[in-house]
Amino acid sequence: MSTTDKYAFGMIGLGVMGRSLLLNMADHGFAVAGHDKDAGKVDSLNQEGSHLKVKGFLDVKEFIQNLKTPRAIMMLVPAGKPVDSVIEELSPLLDKGDILIDGGNSHFTDTNRRVGELEAKGLHFFGMGVSGGEEGARRGPSMMPGGDKDAYAVMQPIFEAIAAKVDGEPCVTYIGPGASGHFVKMVHNGIEYGIMQLLAETYEIMKNGLGMDNDAMQKVFAEWNAGRLQSFLMEITAEIFTYKEKGSDHLLLDDIKDEARAKGTGKWTSQVAMDLQAPSPVIDTAVAMRDLSKYKDMRVKAAEKYKSSQESTLQGDQAELLQSLEQAFYFSMIVTYAQGMFLLTNASIEYKYDLKLDEIAKIWRGGCIIRSLFLNDIYNAYQNDKSLAHLLLDDNVQNLVKEVLPGARKIVSAATAAGIAAPGYAAALSYFDAFRSARMPSNLTQAQRDFFGAHTYELIGKEGVFHTQWVINKMAGGN
């Protein structure tokens, strides 16, 4: 095969995402190839792309030989050991200067390690978060590449061509050095967890607290999606409330078990948020509620033991409560995004990523799972102040929060009184109230730590670190 007949880009892993991305590239005129050890997946690519410049290969060596040099290869395989296995298999077949891209949801610490290992072999490597699911991959995803800047420059024309577009601009940008691309995607997923939890709580409040049926809930979600709450997750929620299996007289939703699964990216976000001291309680709560949902048998037993004679309905006019619920969701969504952006701020400093938060918000506006109308406000906030310490300190965001705060207070109070769990809403409100506290009660925490562990404390208006013999002082004080 002549060099001109070879393929410009290769994909390892022809599952739904890998196949969809390759077909997207081929739609835009790029000659691309894919490899998978599953013959069925290779055949699927060749069938779907029969009219395009795309070809699937079962043999990895034949796949490599048919790529233009320097080769550019993207891996879309499960995070963890599968990525290392693919790299181990590919490395001996590649030449110095070839480019490897990890497009999966790898943990950023793994990406850091791989950067060093592949640099030592003379290979260019970068990690890239890809968001948008199957439809996004096929029609236009949001992509977050970070790492080798020169390698990204080679791929930039392809990625900009296939990315989702908002106002004519592609939803892809160079994120920063090292594992920054995968870090940003991880935080994206954490925000996704938080918003999904808020939607689940909204569903329960409407269903059990307001006694609404599926049709009524569908209308509310659809109406909200037509307003300031417009987002992909709100849109698909409204769609879920319309779906019935063929021949069924009820929603598929009502047949799905209330046990949520997870792939770990939400947990990773919470873990690193604690490491970086960037509190993200809405995301933490979302992770915890997915975990709690798995204990179905225990929850059923607890439901019997703790039956309440209290009404589980929210007290008040339904129309007014729905208005407050819309406000509460908007408020809690703002806080969730703010927590995610604050984590990115801290990570940028700690890991020297030099993240451009306005650019990140910009590429999240289209193609990705957490795209929403509010991301325009986030983009504007960081455009106006590149060094904005926290999203909640932006003047425009402040005005939005003040408008909807009463609804958040009303819903958290009403849900609590009715015995309906709304931990995401409560976490957002408590975080906000603590964040706006000029003086938190943490002085008592410091006194306690010093009392039992001699951990010391600092004093207001006095330099230095201090320790007190608390028990002795108590005894000296008499009765």
| Residues involved in catalysis | 185, 192
- Token readout for 203 is 């569903």
Strand partners of residue 466: 457
Q: Any residues with CB less than 8 A from the CB of 153 and at least 6 apart, and which? A: none
In total, the chain counts a number of residues equal to 479
DSSP 276: T
CA angle 190, 193, 199 (to 5 degrees): 145
The rounded distance, in Å, linking the Cα atoms of 293 and 200 is 12
Output 78-86 pairs: Cβ under 8 A, ≥24 positions apart. 78/104, 79/104, 79/105, 79/106, 79/107, 79/110, 79/263, 79/264, 80/106, 80/107, 80/110, 83/110, 83/114, 84/110, 84/114, 86/12, 86/13
Task: Please report which residue ranges of 28-162 form alpha helices under DSSP H.
Answer: 39-48, 60-65, 81-90, 108-120, 133-139, 149-162
- Token readout for 222 is 């659809």
Pairing of strands 457-459, 462-466: antiparallel
- Token readout for 445 is 């925490």
- Decide if 459 contacts 466 (C-beta within 8 A): yes
The rounded distance, in Å, linking the Cα atoms of 352 and 394 is 24
DSSP 250: S
CA angle 183, 366, 402 (to 5 degrees): 85
